[in-house]
Amino acid sequence: MIRLLIVIAWFYVSCARGDGVHDHGRRTVSNPLWNETSLDKLRNDLLLNYDKFAKAVEGNVTEVGIGLTIVYVETDELNSTFTSSMWLKLSWKDPKLVWSSQDYNGIDSLKMADHEIWQPDIYLFNGANTGGEPIIRYGNPYALVQPDGSVVWVPPIKLTALCDFDMYYWPFDTQRCYLRFGSGSRSRADIRLVSKGVDFKTAIPIVQWTIACTDTIVEVTRAGYPDQFYHVLYNLTLTRKPSTTTTVATTVICCSACLVLAQRFLTFKTGRGLILRCLTSVVLCIFLVYFGTRVAPKRSAAPWIVSFLSACLFLHCITVIESVMVTCMSKLSNPKRVAWKVKGWLGGRFGRILLLDDCIVECERCVDSTDDQHGGKCAASHDWELCHIAIDRLLFLIYFLILALLILAYII
């Protein structure tokens, strides 16, 4: 009985396996799970025992080409950074990915996922976050492999790099920034970087900047590493285009200078002139605070426009102080007369240079029209008024010279 059960079990197993079962003298062959193509066979052969963590050429220098295709550039002057969206083109040769096209039905290129093969560890060494950050790509771009082992990988990336913005000549400034790429752990004995240039053909037009770029290869020594490393340095030259900001800045500069100079011709017979000068001081303070907080970066010297507005505010404060002092002297109940030597200067050649002839005649006419009881007080008041006019016109010449020198220093 046991033997019979064993024979029956063996028969069912043989039928299920299909081995040794013949149909009219022909052997039945099971269908394969998939139809293996030449591409499948090529991928299996290349990736069999492939170690993506081992360098492509051990013991020899691997030449890695690096190129940029810039799409867009955005600057942040306050934080001294700029952000660039680009395509990073990396190319190298991997002898472990070589095949003959004739052996694989004429396949002359192969797309492989970036996580399947070895890649050079390229870092941006002037990154805004850590100063040396790995290249972070968007999506999962494939690498294109040729039969001779040439690999081209073009990932889209977005980088934020540090830049020492010099805002002194804002808004007519030219900035020089750079991108420094290099291997994170491989010295020049392992990897030699070769620049493939920068392409701006697909760049989105930037309203604010005109961009030019040059590249160079440098050798650097890092702390803690005995060997030198190859770095690719891309120097970006950004020239600011004329825009609404340029018009606003030019208008503010011209208006501030005119306000400071025009105050010198305001009379102070009433309090309106003093009030107007105080309002001008408030306007200059608003301009200074706005441009000081919106234009001046954290790592750079003050822009010229901030220095110019500071000078205008300082000069205008002198004007307000002088007006208050002269007004107080003229409004005293018993004002003191101006010294005779000063009156002699004002009535002489110095007064004619300051164009005070008409003012002197008007003051004398006003004094003659008053009675003797109030003549002394009126004469003292008009003397101080004449002195105030002379100081205003003298300061006008000094202020004009100072502002002109500031503008010349900016132009030169």
Query: For 150-185, what is each residue's pLDDT tens digit?
Result: 999 999 998 889 888 888 888 888 989 999 898 878
For the ranges 126-130, 141-145, 149-153, 197-201, the lowest mean pLDDT is seen at 126-130
When pLDDT is cut at 50, 70 and 90, the band that residue 123 belongs to is confident
For 150, the enclosing helix (H) or strand (E) is: strand 150-153
Task: Please report the pLDDT score of residue 91 as a whole number.
Answer: 93
Dist. CA 255–CA 247, nearest whole Å: 12
Closest CA to 241 of 148, 143, 170, 303: 170
Q: How many CB atoms lie within 10 A of CB 262?
A: 12
Q: How many CB atoms lie within 10 A of CB 72?
A: 14
- Asked if the peptide bond before residue 171 counts as cis, ω within 30 degrees of 0, the response is yes
When pLDDT is cut at 50, 70 and 90, the band that residue 22 belongs to is very low
Question: What domains appear along the chain, each with residue ranges and CATH number?
Answer: 41-240 (2.70.170.10), 244-411 (no CATH)
Dist. CA 118–CA 58, nearest whole Å: 12
> Coil, strand, or helix at residue 349?
helix
Closest CA to 56 of 26, 17, 96: 96
What is the pTM for the complete model shown? 0.69
Section 382-388 average pLDDT: 65
Angle at CA of residue 257, ends 207 and 269, nearest 5°: 145
Q: What is the pLDDT of residues 63-107, one digit of tens each?
A: 899 999 988 888 888 888 888 889 999 999 999 999 998 888 888
Closest CA to 213 of 183, 187, 189, 239: 239
- Secondary structure (H, E, C), 238-292: EEECCCHHHHHHHHHHHHHHHHHHHHHHCCCCCCHHHHHHHHHHHHHHHHHHHHH
